[in-house]
Structure 1
């Protein structure tokens, strides 16, 4: 392929985007960073090819694409990969200097009302600085259709006539969105002064969704978490103008490329769905299918929705984006709206939020700990624990309820419901016949039917599941995971399977019979009583397991054929409590959890446990400190007593030594000195000399 001359290569442009860590700005910036400048002006075939590459996740060449220069609300977050530079500034003057280096300034004021003043300041500064501007600047304000919320109908006799861009001078805002319309008017006005240096656009966007959802996220989240009902505010009869966030980004790409003469644009899709339709659609395709209508007062008490979002969800507005549809080339992600495209939107929602279901299968011999391990995995990953007994009991209970309703509501139900009730009664009879034929056991065909219904239920399809020991045989596995004709594998000789219920992690626990018998023998009698884990029951089950495991075609062979290779774990080496070591090994195979972080209640519980742990730790540290201080005090007392005792001993030894050393001297004094001194004193008493001391000395000297 010949090299493209430098002067013919597309030149990139710098786009300033505010708060690129917010939902709408992030998705728009990411989209633009993958768009070659001017691509929307090219021939349809080439434009379609480019957009397909973006949609499929392939990154176009960096050369010639829009370069994103952005600010972030949370400066502690890392710079997104699609952003070339994140502006760090302390004053507005510093921000403005960075802004003037960009060709396009894009301000989104739909999510943070505080950004309205900044957007007006930015365009005002550019307008005041027109003399210094050498190259034309484009300023785009992303506003909201809420500035049209109280507009009077175009025809009082026909309220279904939609508003278009041509009617923008007649728009009346919702009371809580007056600042938005004021900003719109200012930006439109300042863009008329000198269009060769500053051109401005206002885009009134519908309620955006897609890419993980935005305003409708509370519905998707509740449905994914298997809420019994989804909440619909009011009666749900209000028409909600919507727009997929990627389609909104496509509109901005077209504006940046073509600089249309129309300065005020309405960006909505072709849908005219009522809120009720949207809620029902999400509930039916992701949740229970049920809807609960709640009053405005009840809605405001919800923690999952803010006042601004509540106002937007209750808007009743019909709009038509005429200019966009007639003049722009957009590779629509959802032109017909959320209801018609719900399948792709749910898929996108799950992929972006990493909510794809985790599916695992734990098998192994009796008493190998399958249920113990599965329970811990389900608690950690928030998955559904699929046990044969639970599945069968639940299915039969539902059939009995349905059949019982047929008897109590005869003549009232519709034809379809009556048919379902009749089918339930027939199935219950077939199950009873199966029990009689198989000595109390239910035939595999019924068990597998119940399992398929359970695995295809919304809860298991949303979060995922862990199969606990079933299927046991290759025949059961083939029937359970069998796919429809369109799901059949393309390779010759290789049967297909239903990808929606096929486990991606297969774990086989392994242990010899002696180990398993020893494990059961060591269990308390209260645990074993009433279960299959008696000595006789275990031996019977072990024998049956070894028979089916020793065959040429086992359940593990089935997964091998499907190229989902099992991992085998020897549990005889696991000496940890509750088989924690084996659980950790399986967790490494399954990877990180794929669900939302902890709920507020769970966070509160975690905080409570952390506080209890902290208090416990502080109490233990205090007790340890007091014990240590007591030991030190006792040691000091012991040493003091020991020192005092040793001092007394030394004094005694010194006294005894002095006493011993003084004996010769005393003997000498008693023999030679004391007699003379005694006699001298007696004589002194008799004579009574004037100086007794001299007298004694005289006598002593004489002697």
Structure 2
């Protein structure tokens, strides 16, 4: 044990504050730093000096090894969001005094003002408050302001005689901001000024960032989303598109920040842009070709303001026209560039980042099954649910022929247009083949047409549901593989191979019953006529009992089919089957409804609510009227019965009064009259007592 060498480590962690750590730029800068080791961007010479210093500091025979990490803390723009995986602490609803205490606990404070203008006021307060406390800092601190090249937007060329000479950091004192970015430049000047007081305790830096791209996009997101969704036939270029836009990949910007923290450069104002000199038209053209329709069109600047997805800051940024050269970065920083040559040169990589970051992965489904099993109906429902493209054999062939004829009529020739001679030649070949085969195409051409459809931008972006083709093992092999060279398959084939294979099946009796129950108007002239349907069904059964079937082909690729047996005709709308497929496929992988669709849905729901409220009100009024009518009828009935009861009571009383009168006249009144006469004759001392006793003695019941 005594001979073993024990490695000792001295951890120099840095606590880094990032404002609005859940917004685009701040989030990816924070994530990048979280994955880095402190000092990782230092050059070899600087690392050597650091190791020598460590040898002096360490009392052991073996020098202590430094393994520092960046611990990220920060505030949130969304006060209700969930905690990020790359942050140590997140702060919500802080008062200024509490925030200042957290800032003082950090080694590096990063404020990003490229996205939220309301952060300018907070950043101004933060750098001022920290500067006031610099004499009480327990350790030196660094303040980094991530600003925008829009503070240079109105700057004149460094050489008026040669506007092609780019601007550099040396020109930063001559920079002039866009009118909407004057607060940004005021903060930049303040940050640089406050960093000159006591550099050993409080150093400050301004990083003027080009328009950021990558990792899901921010300023350019509108163009990426429009191209991906296929909402327009041509991607819009606002204005003439000739303005040069300085840009930088968001991870390269994070690399610049990392180098500033590690190296503490003497220059306190830095430009962060890549080497590209791309125009707006160049960028949008590259997006259109890589992700969208492959065509662009110029629209007026005024139309920009009609685009709801673009903010005023976005619009101002898209019209900037500047040439930059970030000379200091090139000469002094050790940046592992993600996109040094710019977005146009690296568009395929940026597109892949866009898709994966936003979860826009295509869903590719192949539905297999006998005729009349419900493939097309289920496919239509799935297409609506997942926003996929339904690829049908006949429709795709017709669409291809129409498109080729359109290209031939147009004559090609436009930017992004198709090859006229190639389209004409292919169209003639297809027509000739159809004439030779009685209106049908050979498998060779069908495969090419379906393959081109699956490789089209809409199917590549959103995905597809393939229905009705391929029908055989050979067709599947030809469709998903190009010409074979040994065992190597075409790389493009991997991009179109289905991810899910759904095999539907039902008994022949059930399928025949379904076809027999179809309306005559739907059956006439289609493949569902009795003779043609039975022929198709027998052909399907025969082709799926062989050793090499379509399902076997996918099994060999380890794409195992999901078998769903349909045993009843009760589910006429195929809702249960569709739900089973949705459970197999999972959640959609797209943006969901667009803004216009959401607004239309809201209007539809509002109309439904109004109609429902009107119906409920009418129902309530009808119910109230019915109840009032019933109350009136019941009151009338009760009044009538009351009158009848009163009449019966009166008659009864009258009948009873006759008997009483008769009894009084015959039995009581004579005795009473006789008693009164006797009372008058005798004149007793107590007439009442006398009369009572007389009536008692003379009562008829005692006689």
TM-score band, normalised by shorter chain: 0.7 to 0.9
Name the residue aligned to 1:143: 147
Contact kept in structure 1, 2:514 and 2:569, CA below 8 Å: no
Instruction: Assess, with a 3 A threshold, how the Cα gap between structure 1 residues 680 and 449 changes in structure 2: closer, same or farther.
Output: same
What do the CA deviations read for 1:626-668 (whole angstroms, capped 9, x no partner)? 6766777788778878988998999899999999999998897
Q: For the residues of structure 1 that align with 2:640 and 2:171, how far apart are their CA atoms?
A: 107
Query: Are 2:404 and 1:399 aligned?
Result: yes
Matches within 5 A, 1:437-586: 437-483=436-482, 498-573=493-568, 575-586=570-581
Measure, in 2, the Cα distance between the counterparts of 1:213 and 1:3: 49
- Aligned counterpart in structure 2 of residue 93 of structure 1, from 84, 91, 97: 97
Residues 65-108 of structure 1 show CA distances to partners (whole Å, capped at 9, x for unaligned) of 21111111220111222121112344312211111111111001
Unaligned runs of 5+ in 2: 49-66
Instruction: Return the TM-score normalized by structure 1.
Output: 0.86
Inter-partner Cα distance in structure 2 for 1:602 and 1:345: 28
Measured in 2, the distance between the counterparts of 1:30 and 1:74 equals 17
Change (3 A) 1:660 1:489: farther
Q: CA deviation at 1:514?
A: 0.9
1:326 to 322, 331, 335: 331
Q: Is the 8 A contact 1:484 1:498 kept in 2?
A: no
- The answer to whether structure 1 residue 14 and structure 2 residue 15 are counterparts is yes
Name the structure 2 match of 1:308: 313
- Aligned-pair Cα RMSD in Å: 3.8
Per-residue deviation, 1:170: 2.1
Match of 1:295 among 290, 300, 306: 300
Partner of 2:267: 262
Instruction: Tell me the number of residue pairs that the alignment of Structure 1 and Structure 2 aligns.
Output: 671
Q: Could you tell which deviates more after superposition, 432-441 or 517-526?
A: 432-441
8 Å Cα contact 1:431-1:443 kept in structure 2: no
Change (3 A) 1:525 1:327: same
Does the alignment pair 1:195 with 2:199? yes
- Greater mean deviation of Cα atoms: 550-559 or 162-171: 162-171
* Cα distance between partner residues in 1 of 2:367 and 2:5: 57
Q: What are the Cα deviations for residues 134-163 of structure 1, in whole angstroms up to 9, with x where unaligned?
A: 311100001111222222222222211112
Task: Report the alpha carbon displacement of residue 257 of structure 1 after superposing the two structures with TM.
Answer: 1.4
CA change 1:488–1:192 in 2 (3 A) is: farther
Distance of 1:586 and 1:656 partners within structure 2 = 83
Deviations 1:222-280 (A, max 9, x none): 11122211121222222111100000001111111121112111111111112221111
* Cα gap change, 1:13 to 1:487, in 2 (>3 Å): farther
Q: Structure 1: 5+ residue runs without aligned partners? A: 48-62
Partners of 2:346 and 2:124 in 1: CA distance: 36
Is contact 2:34-2:72 (8 Å) kept?
A: yes
Normalised by the length of structure 2, the TM-score is: 0.86
Whole-angstrom distance in 1 between the partners of 2:214 and 2:491:
32
Question: Any idea what the Cα deviations from partners look like across 1:96-128, whole Å, max 9, x if unmatched?
Answer: 111111111100111122211211211111111
For 1:337, the equivalent position in structure 2 comes to: 342
Question: Structure 2 CA distance, aligned partners of 1:3 and 1:385?
Answer: 66
Residue 390 (structure 1) aligned to one of 369, 389, 395? 395
SS of alignment partner, residue 465 of structure 1: strand
From the superposition, tell whether residues 316 and 430 of structure 1 become closer, same or farther in structure 2 (CA, over 3 Å).
closer
> Do 2:671 and 2:698's aligned partners in 1 also have CA atoms closer than 8 Å?
no
Of 602, 606, 622, 1:611 maps to: 606
Per the TM alignment, residue 42 of structure 1 is displaced from its structure 2 partner at its CA by 6.6
How far residue 439 of structure 1 moved from its aligned partner, in angstroms, is 3.0
Label 1:389 to 1:207 Cα distance change in 2 as closer, same or farther (>3 A): same
Q: What is the CA distance between 1:167 and its match in structure 2?
A: 2.1
Are residues 540 and 318 of structure 1, via their aligned partners in 2, closer, same or farther at CA, if it must alter by over 3 Å?
same
- For residues 476-532 of structure 1, what are the alpha-carbon distances to aligned partners after superposition, in whole Å with 9 as ceiling and x for unaligned? 111011157699569xxxx98811111101111111111111112222222223322
Aligned equivalent of 1:223, options 217, 227, 251: 227
- Structure 1 residue aligned with 2:183: 179
Instruction: Compare 525-534 and 621-630 and name the one that shifted more.
Output: 621-630
Query: 1:131 & 1:696 partners in 2: Cα distance?
Result: 128
Residue 124 of structure 2 is matched in structure 1 by: 120
- Cα offset, 1:554, TM superposition: 1.1
SS at match of 2:41: helix
The residue aligned with 1:82 is: 86
CA contact under 8 A between 2:360 and 2:589: conserved in structure 1? Answer: yes
